[in-house]
């Protein structure tokens, strides 16, 4: 099986505590994680100065990417901020940068490695910064699902489409089977292309983005979509359901966006008269249909920037971004959609101590936490990514 290099160690009595500190490994995940080395103390008052000094010492050899959901303490050192695909493309556009330090999560660093040159090395400051959604689609499970479709005689008419928020293994699978990668902003274009190639789509790994795009933008009915559960025989579906479906949705979701409910929307409308509800398409279908505006992370940012002074906005996406938008636009009332705050716990693994450690190790000539996708997987994943870039209007 293709994939990403990682180190496995036996768990100990302190494994959970160490994992919470960003060290150790979790053998229960598809991918073991290990973060060796001594991290600076989180309370070190000199962390900001140390990060600035290390980055300055590396100069143009290092390029730091910061996802929108990162902590403010980390985002201040990013050369570029953006969503996952924008950042991967930015990395590829910097061929002179020897080191790409990706402040995001694992699948994002994999995409950067796929799109950058062999001489560039992609570094993830904490290997425990994964993505629960991406880990909900494991290659062996997807291959089993494809076998089910093959046995039913419908694999040939099915086009696999995977969200950018998926592992390199899954992107490679999609590339091998003539499919395409999509983002939350171009999912409709990707699906339009897919339905020109076949009559069905297997959409991985986020059921909500797939369902919302199919119903809200392509005009499908909810009955055209079925939910494939990899933990049940035949996905928990009958042969007739699979044969009749236009959209076969993988049972995956975002742990942050999936927490928003219709009650959240109704509650904020009662509390804040005239509020605009703005949500990400990874939210549940009933939340998306009840919202006023729906779009990608970049869309959310641009919508808030263009909003008139005095307007009120309840935003259904990761809290770090919502807080940053509120601070940047004090003339507008910007709030988190849910009463209970929710950070992306894995995205928040990248903190200032990990960033300082990674940068200082590079200054010392030691490359840590390098993300490497094997050549065969990278080749097929690149084909699926290139197909996305070739979409009309891309």
Is 68 annotated in some ligand binding site?
Answer: no
Q: How far is CA 85 from CA 198, 233, 240, in A?
A: 26, 34, 37
> What's the pLDDT band for 394 if we cut at 50, 70, 90?
low
36 annotated to bind ligand? no
pLDDT in tens, 331-381: 999 999 987 766 777 777 899 999 999 999 999 999 999 999 999 999 999
Instruction: Indicate if 237 and 92 belong to the same structural domain.
Output: no
Say if residue 346 carries a ligand binding annotation: no
User: Is residue 29 a known part of a binding site?
Assistant: no
- Whether 1 is covered by a domain: the verdict is no
Q: What does pTM read for this prediction?
A: 0.85
Q: Is 35 assigned to a binding site?
A: no
Residues 93 and 227 in one domain: no
Check residues 330 and 36 and name the one with the higher pLDDT. 330
Q: 343: annotated binding-site residue? A: no
pLDDT tens column, 126-158: 998 888 899 999 999 999 999 999 999 999 999
Is 12 marked as binding a ligand?
A: no
- Residue 55, Cβ density class (10 Å: 0-12 exposed, 13-18 middle, ≥19 buried): buried
Same domain flag for 162 and 203: yes
Residue 218, domain extent: 134-252+377-390
- Same domain assignment for residues 239 and 158: yes
In this prediction, residue 348 carries a pLDDT of: 77
| pLDDT of res. 89 | 82
In the predicted structure, residue 195 carries a pLDDT above the cut 90: yes
Q: How many domains does the chain divide into?
A: 3
Rounded to the nearest angstrom, the gap between the alpha carbon of residue 53 and the centroid of all alpha carbons in its chain is 30
What's 304's domain CATH number?
3.40.50.10800
Q: Report the share of the chain in percent with pLDDT over 70.
A: 90
Task: Please tell me whether 103 is known to bind a ligand.
Answer: no
Residues 190, 264 within the same domain:
no
pLDDT the model gives residue 40: 84
Which tops the pLDDT comparison, 3 or 291?
291
199 assigned binding-site residue: no
The answer to whether 69 is annotated as binding is: no
pLDDT tens for residues 76-109?
999 999 887 788 888 889 999 999 999 999 999 9
- The pairs formed by 290-294 with CB atoms below 8 angstroms and a separation of 24 or more are 290/262, 290/265, 290/266, 291/265, 291/316, 294/212, 294/216
Q: Which residue has the higher pLDDT, 250 or 40?
A: 250
Task: Give the pLDDT mean for 29-52.
Answer: 71
How far is the C-alpha of 29 from the C-alpha of 126, rounded, in Å? Answer: 15
CA 104 to chain centre: 9
Q: Under the phi-then-psi rule, with left for phi > 0, alpha for psi from -120 to 50, and beta for the rest, what region is 265? A: alpha
Q: What is the mean pLDDT of residues 11-17?
A: 35
Whether 20 is in a domain gets the answer no
């Amino acid at each position: 099986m293709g994939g990403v290099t990682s180190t496995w160690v036996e768990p100990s009595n302190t494994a959970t505590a160490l994992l919470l500190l960003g060290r150790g490994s979790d053998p229960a995940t598809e991918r073991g994680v290990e973060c060796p080395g001594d991290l600076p103390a989180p309370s070190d008052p000199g962390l900001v100065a140390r990060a600035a000094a290390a980055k300055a010492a590396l100069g143009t050899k290092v390029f730091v990417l910061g996802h929108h959901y990162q902590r403010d303490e980390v985002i201040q050192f990013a050369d570029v901020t953006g969503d996952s695909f924008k950042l991967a493309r930015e990395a590829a556009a910097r061929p002179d940068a020897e080191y790409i330090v990706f402040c995001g999560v694992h699948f994002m660093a994999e995409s950067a490695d796929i799109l950058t040159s062999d001489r560039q090395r992609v570094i993830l400051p904490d290997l425990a910064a994964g993505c629960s959604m991406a880990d909900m689609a494991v290659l062996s499970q997807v291959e089993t699902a494809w076998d089910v479709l093959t046995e039913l005689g419908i694999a040939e008419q099915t086009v696999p489409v995977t969200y950018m928020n998926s592992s390199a293994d899954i992107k490679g699978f999609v590339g091998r089977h003539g499919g395409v990668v999509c983002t939350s902003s171009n999912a409709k274009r990707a699906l339009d292309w897919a339905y020109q190639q076949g009559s069905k789509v297997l959409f991985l790994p986020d059921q909500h983005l797939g369902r919302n795009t199919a119903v809200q933008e392509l005009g499908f009915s909810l009955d055209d979509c079925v939910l494939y559960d990899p933990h049940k025989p035949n996905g928990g579906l009958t042969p007739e359901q699979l044969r009749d479906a236009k959209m076969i949705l993988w049972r995956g979701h975002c742990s942050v966006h999936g927490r928003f409910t219709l009650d959240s929307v109704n509650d904020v409308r009662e509390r804040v008269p005239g509020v605009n509800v703005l949500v990400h398409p990874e939210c549940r279908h009933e939340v998306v249909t009840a919202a006023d505006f729906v779009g990608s992370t970049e869309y959310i940012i641009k919508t808030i920037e263009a909003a008139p002074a005095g307007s009120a906005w309840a935003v259904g996406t990761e809290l770090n971004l919502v807080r940053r938008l509120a601070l940047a636009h004090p003339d507008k009332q910007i709030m988190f959609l849910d009463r209970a705050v929710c950070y992306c716990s894995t995205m928040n693994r990248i903190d200032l101590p990990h960033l300082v450690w990674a940068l200082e190790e590079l200054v010392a000539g030691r490359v840590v936490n390098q993300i490497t996708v094997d050549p065969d997987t990278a080749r097929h994943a690149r084909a699926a990514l290139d197909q996305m870039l070739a979409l009309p209007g891309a």
